[in-house]
């Protein structure tokens, strides 16, 4: 029982970290594009990325 719970917690934490890293990647890409004075895809794309 305890092992199962720890495994569930670990999976949950991995999901959060995975989501954070994807969002961070999208944000860095967005900022890089903005810096190059290119128009970012759309504001909606950025909002979707963080939902």
- Between CA 35 and CA 45, with CA 32 as vertex, the angle to 5 degrees is 110
Cα 31 off chain centre by: 14
Token pair for 41:
């895809």
Q: Looking at residue 46, what is its pLDDT?
A: 60
Question: Domain coordinates of the chain in residue numbers?
Answer: 2-49
Instruction: Give the model confidence (pLDDT) of 15-47 as tens digits.
Output: 888 888 888 888 888 888 777 655 555 566 666
Is 2 exposed, middle or buried, given 0-12, 13-18 or 19+ CB atoms closer than 10 A? exposed
Who contacts 50 (Cβ-Cβ below 8 Å, separation ≥6)? 23
């Amino acid at each position: 029982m305890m092992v199962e719970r720890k495994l569930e917690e670990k999976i949950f934490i991995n999901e959060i970290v995975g989501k954070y890293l994807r969002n961070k990647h999208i944000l860095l890409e967005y900022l890089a594009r903005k810096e190059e004075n290119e128009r970012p895809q759309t504001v909606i794309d950025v909002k979707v990325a963080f939902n």
